[in-house]
Amino acid sequence: MLDERKLAVLRAVVEDFVNTNEPVGSKALADRHRLGVSPATIRNDMVALEEDGYIAQPHTSAGRVPTDKGYRLFVDRLSSVKPLSAAERRAIESFLSGAVDLDEIVARTVRLLSQLTRQVAIVQYPSLTRSSVQHVELVPLAGQRLMLVVITDTGRVEQRVIDGLGAIDADAVADLRAMLNRATAGLHLGAVPDAVEDLPQQIPPENRAMAISVLSVLLESLVERHEEKIVLAGTANLAAVDFAASLRDVLEALEENMVLIRLLGEAKDPSMLTVRIGAENFHEGLRSTSIVSADYGVGNQSLAKIGVVGPTRMDYPGTMGAVRAVARYVGQILAGQ
């Protein structure tokens, strides 16, 4: 059905359309690519490709444009991830090194990725659930309140203010702090609920209420918002693109963190590059965008995802190369941190 040459034609169509943003015709293809056949032959192939739904004509007597299905085939079989140039690799290293804390690593990463790809970059904060407790801190605040701070080994800090505890006894707080650290230090966050389950029994009754409050806030802070945090950059790059859906819809979708988290999360093959093209995205506003995402982490443990959002008409090999490279470098930085 799809012989070698038809695939070559499809590849050429995708590449030319990505470059020029104009429907590409048989003659232009014959000129710009060494396909070794005449325009008429290419036309016949294009008819076949169109019948199979890989390309389409905006209108009769215009050139062809790849469909989502066409891009899909291109990504799966016709292209290979383009490695970065040496200059780009150096840029990544110099850009990411010298970040002082997790916030800054994430901020620099997202900027870097958007500049490399000239598209919108997304970086998700390292997931809490995969990391483990480094230290738990309880700080008495003014007005009978406590601040709970959880520090993880990925450098992330979760903080909560706990209110309505009544009078606070400094010794009881110190005891509780010591007990919490003894029980949880080094544990994966997922193991924390089990580990603290029967702590209240070990606490003198007069302080038990406080302990229970603190524990419930602790568990909540670990579970509830564990993957919510996401950072964007490069939205200005969208202005240059003309979307089928309105730009407004795209921007709105990008502001909905939950949408982005779901999009990144639905990568089918962990620790690999994932590409979702056009209508493969469940979200209305993103019907005319594609998303390239990857996991990053330390070792072979995935902590979170990064990704790039751009028009379906994007340079897939280049974008995939950039995403993969940045994901690896961030993993290294986090490991060294």
Residues at the contact surface with DNA, assessed by CB under 7 A: 5, 22-28, 36-41, 43-44, 46-47, 50, 57, 59-64
> Does residue number 155 form part of the binding site for a second copy (CB under 8 A)?
yes
The one of DNA, a second copy, none whose footprint includes residue 46, by CB under 5 to 8 A per kind, is DNA
> Does residue number 226 form part of the binding site for a second copy (CB under 8 A)?
no
Element (H, E) at 206: helix 205-223
The one of DNA, a second copy, none whose footprint includes residue 337, by CB under 5 to 8 A per kind, is a second copy
Q: Residue 151 class from Cβ within 10 Å (0-12 exposed, 13-18 middle, 19+ buried)?
A: middle
Q: Sketch the per residue contact string, 72 through 111, with a second copy: x for CB under 8 A, - otherwise.
A: ----------------------------xxx---------
Bridge partners, residue 188, by sequence: 132
> Does residue number 188 form part of the binding site for a second copy (CB under 8 A)?
no
Q: Residue 299 class from Cβ within 10 Å (0-12 exposed, 13-18 middle, 19+ buried)?
A: exposed
> Does residue number 168 form part of the binding site for a second copy (CB under 8 A)?
no
DSSP assignment of 105-123 equals: HHHHHHHHHHHHHTSEEEE
SS3 state at 83 = coil
Sequence letter at residue 220: E
The one of a second copy, DNA, none whose footprint includes residue 195, by CB under 5 to 8 A per kind, is none
236: its two tokens: 């200005």
Torsion sign over Cα 329, 334, 336, 337: positive
The one of a second copy, DNA, none whose footprint includes residue 335, by CB under 5 to 8 A per kind, is none
Token pair 């544990």 in the structure block, residue: 187
CB of 62 to DNA, least distance (A): 6
CB of 284 to a second copy, least distance (A): 14
Residue 70: name the closest of 23, 129, 107 by CA.
Answer: 23
Token pair 């993993």 in the structure block, residue: 331
CB of 15 to a second copy, least distance (A): 25
> Could you list the residues that contact a second copy (CB under 8 A)?
100-102, 134-135, 137, 139, 141-142, 147, 149, 151, 153, 155, 157, 159-161, 233-240, 246-249, 251-252, 254-255, 337
